[in-house]
Structure 1
Amino acid sequence: MLNIGRLSALLIIITAVLAAGCTQPAETAPDRETMYQVSTFSALSQGVYEGIIPVVTLLQNGDTGLGTFDALDGEMVCLEGKVYQVKGDGTVVETGDNVTVPFAAVTFFDADSTRQLEGLQGLSNLTTLIDAELPSDATMYALKVHGNFSHVKTRSVPAQEKPYPALVDAVKNQSVFERENVSGTIVGVRFPAYMDGVNVAGYHCHFISDDRQFGGHLLDCTLENGTLMIDGTDRFVMVLPRGMQGVDSAKADSSVVSAIEQ
């Protein structure tokens, strides 16, 4: 006959094991101090346009940033946890979770510093001012400028067909859009010079209007007034590019980068 004391002990052990099996692991908080990147700018510049992660995965790793979509189908603006696609014809749509991404850089945005801005003519003057605000030029930054713009000039590129052309050739078919007196947000990243090829060394900026009807890769702007927000990060995670067989892995030539960005 089974001893009552031993039976009680056995029941306690079984109960403990079952309870442990039913316990769900605590959900890990997202890392808010890391720049998460899909592929490299060097790979993108050489025509590696096939999406490798879905938007839903991108948003698990950041709520603010920029990039593009499978087949280079338009410009991406990631803002406040939503991903917008500025298509080649200028229309703007919020993407579905399963749309795939060949290149992007995002982070969870927590401003380290803010500053009010007024009367800035030209994107180059804006980035020069931002440079003066940065505590170091040797780390990565995400930035936002929300405000009122008397003029904004953007571009987008239509989806490409295989065999994919190099990015410098793809942007020759870009569409350029201009808007006067628009409120919206510049979303940008700034990478240090030693990361050239991993991303664009310096600034890469996109724009989206408050009404979510206008945006794209930012070519130029005139800011009437607004707020600059800067978020620095010194940690970096990258999803490695795919489809690199036969592709030169060297960083993109500076003249090519200039042609692409402008």
Structure 2
Amino acid sequence: MVQIEGKAYSIAYDGTVQEAEPRATLPYAMVTVFQPTQRVELHSSFTLADLRKVAWPNSPMPFRITGAFRSVHTKQGLYEEVEGTIFGFMIPKWQAAVSGDEYSQMRFIDDDRRQGGGSVLGFEAGEGVLLESGGCGRFHLGFPQNELFNQLKF
């Protein structure tokens, strides 16, 4: 699921996108009020491997990459010559056991809000792609308080 400008979108397994139902639930969500404090225009052909070289702080860091991509590879498929947005959180190593590895929390949605994908596996930027990031000074973890959850064996 991705939220853009106050609207939540659900990304189906096949990559199709639709506006999320108001009462939809998720087993896990990372949420923040995104207020970018840094903006950098990326060079054409910037990739996920290049993103992994960026120095990040020791707290979760939300980021957004917007513009024209040569390609975006997600679990749902490969999108080529597409304009859209990648949302994500850089996860510090100390938090990986709870939230996934460094870049496991990235999602893609195209500008038409018709196709996208969860778990971005790779991408290559085109011309004029913008990387924005902002701080995240708080991490709150909640658990269901019901018998079903208490009976699960992890």
Please give the range of the TM-score, normalised by the shorter of the 2 chains: 0.7 to 0.9
1:141 to 55, 61, 69: 61
How far 1:221 sits from its partner (Å)? 1.1
Question: Does the Cα contact within 8 Å between 1:187 and 1:205 map onto a contact in 2?
Answer: yes
| Correspondence 1:220 to 2:126 | no
1:189 — aligned with what? 89
| Correspondence 1:208 to 2:89 | no
Question: Does the Cα contact within 8 Å between 1:115 and 1:228 map onto a contact in 2?
Answer: yes
How far 1:241 sits from its partner (Å)? 4.3
How many angstroms apart in 1 are the aligned matches of 2:150 and 2:108? Answer: 30
Question: Does the Cα contact within 8 Å between 1:120 and 1:126 map onto a contact in 2?
Answer: no
1:93 to 18, 21, 45: 18
- Return the letter of the residue paired with 1:143: F
Number of positions where the alignment pairs a residue of Structure 1 with one of Structure 2: 148
- Return the letter of the residue paired with 2:106: C
Identity %: 32
Q: Deviations along 1:204-256, whole A, 9 cap, x unmatched?
A: 211000011111121111101311100111211222146142422xxxxxxxx
1:177 — aligned with what? 77
How many angstroms apart in 2 are the aligned matches of 1:241 and 1:196? Answer: 21
Question: Does the Cα contact within 8 Å between 1:78 and 1:106 map onto a contact in 2?
Answer: no
Question: Does the Cα contact within 8 Å between 1:208 and 1:216 map onto a contact in 2?
Answer: yes
SS in 1 for 2:49: helix
TM-score by length of 2: 0.87
1:151 to 71, 78, 91: 71
State the Cα RMSD in Å. Answer: 1.6
Larger RCO, structures 1/2 (Cα 8 Å, 6+ apart): 2
Q: Deviations along 1:36-66, whole A, 9 cap, x unmatched?
A: xxxxxxxxxxxxxxxxxxxxxxxxxxxxxxx
Q: For 1:68-147, what aligned pairs fall within 5 Å after superposition? A: 76-128=1-53, 131-132=54-55, 134=56, 136=57, 138-147=58-67
The structure in which a higher percent of residues are helix is 1
Question: Does the Cα contact within 8 Å between 1:92 and 1:212 map onto a contact in 2?
Answer: yes
Runs of 4+ in structure 1 deviating by more than 6 angstroms, as ranges, are none
TM-score by length of 1: 0.53
